[in-house]
Amino acid sequence: MKKLTIILFSLYCFVSTAQQDSQFTQYMYNTININPAYAGTRETFSAFVLHRNQWVGLDGAPVTNTASINTNVGESRLGFGLSFINDNIGPTQENGISADIAYIIPLNGDYKLSFGVKGTANLYSLDVNKLNIYQANDPEFQSLNGKLSPNIGTGVYYYSDKFYTGLSVPNFVKTKYYNDNEISINKKSIHYYFIAGYVFDLNESVKFKPSFISKITDGAPFQLDVNANFMFNEKFVLGGSYRLGSAVSALAGFQISNSWFLGYGYDLETTKLSKYNSGSHEIFLRYELFKNNRISTPRFF
C-alpha cells in the first residue's frame, strides 16, 4: 500500500497543473524567500540555513534545503539578498537561486515601508528511473534534465519593531516544463502571499506574537497558517501553528548568543496522509553580525 501511495503521490507532483512553491512552517524567520522587500529590514547582515524533511516515513516525500543571506547597505535605504532553494519530491528535483533588492522608506514614527524585486533562475529535473512505469516507452514519462527557467517577482513590506505585514508575488511568470517529446509534465503557477504579525509585551520577560500567512494559487486550495509564539527573557521561544485543513505544528527556538539563533518545528498531519507518515521536521540556524556584537534593535521576527 505504501508503494502504491508514493507512486500516485509522485505522479501527482509532476503531472499536476499547479505545482506549489516550497512550504515552510517557520516562514517568519525565512521571509526573504517569499518577499524580496524583507531584504535589509533587520538592519544587519543575516545568514540563514534551513532543512525540512516532510512526511517522514513516506518514500519520495518532499525534502527541502534552503540558504540565504540579506543585509542593508550602510546608511543607505537599500537592502540586498541572495537565496538558494533545493527541492526534492519523488522523482523530481528543483534548484532555484534568487537575488533580491529592496528600497526602504522611513515613515512617521517607528514605521518603515519597503519595496522589493526578486529575480530567480530555476533548474528543474525529472528522473523517471525512480518510478515504476507500466509502459517504459510512454512519451509522457521521459526524463527531463536541467530545464532552466527565469522568473521575476515583487513584494511590499510594512513594519516597525512590533508589527509587520507584507504582500508579495515571488514569481510572476507561469512556467511549463516540457520533455523531449514536447509534452508538458509540470506547470508552476503564480503564488500570492499575505503575511502579518504583532508583538505584545506581556511583561518585562515575556513577549507574545500572533501571526499568520495566507497563500493563494491558481488550481490549488487556499492555504492559511495561524501561529502563536511566546518569547521568554529574549532567549527561549515556544509556540504552535495550525495549517488550515492540513496540519498542527509545535515550534521552538533558542537565542544561543547575540548572533546565533536555533529553531525547530514539528508538523503533525491532520489529513488521511497521516496514516502513511510520522510527521514533518524542520530545523534552521540563523547568524547575524551586529556592530560590537550587540543587538541594536531586538526584533521577534
Q: Please report the DSSP string for 7-76 in residue order.
A: HHHHHHHHHSSSBPPP--TTGGG-GGGT-GGGTTTTSSEEEEEEEEE-STTSTT--EEEEEEEEEE-TTS
CATH topology of domain 18-288: Porin (2.40.160)
Three-state DSSP class for residue 78: strand
Task: Return d(Cα 171, Cα 162) in angstroms, integer.
Answer: 28
Residue 14: pLDDT over 50? no
The DSSP call for residue 19 is B
Task: Return d(Cα 143, Cα 163) in angstroms, integer.
Answer: 47
Residue 9: CB partners within 8 Å, gap ≥ 6? 58, 60, 61, 90
Residue 292: pLDDT over 60? no
* Cα-based distances in Å from 4 to 17, 60, 133, 207, 275: 21, 12, 12, 47, 14
What pLDDT shows up at residue 184? 57
**Which pLDDT band holds residue 173 (cuts at 50, 70, 90)?**
confident
Task: Return d(Cα 197, Cα 87) in angstroms, integer.
Answer: 27
Hunting for cell 490549488 — which residue is that?
A: 220
Q: Which of 58-62, 94-98, 236-240 has the lowest mean pLDDT?
A: 58-62
Q: What tens digit of pLDDT does each residue of 102-155 get?
A: 999 999 888 999 999 999 999 888 777 776 666 666 666 666 677 788 999 999
Cell numbers given for 191? 503564488
Task: Return d(Cα 169, Cα 25) in angstroms, integer.
Answer: 18
Helix-, strand-, coil-residue percentages of the chain, each rounded to 5: 10, 55, 35
Residue 191: pLDDT over 60? yes
Domain ranges of the chain: 18-288
Q: pTM for this structure?
A: 0.86
What pLDDT shows up at residue 16? 40
What pLDDT shows up at residue 1? 41
What pLDDT shows up at residue 9? 45
What pLDDT shows up at residue 145? 73
- Mean pLDDT, the chain, rounded, equals 85
Q: Please compute the mean of the pLDDT values over residues 52-63 and round it to a whole number.
A: 91
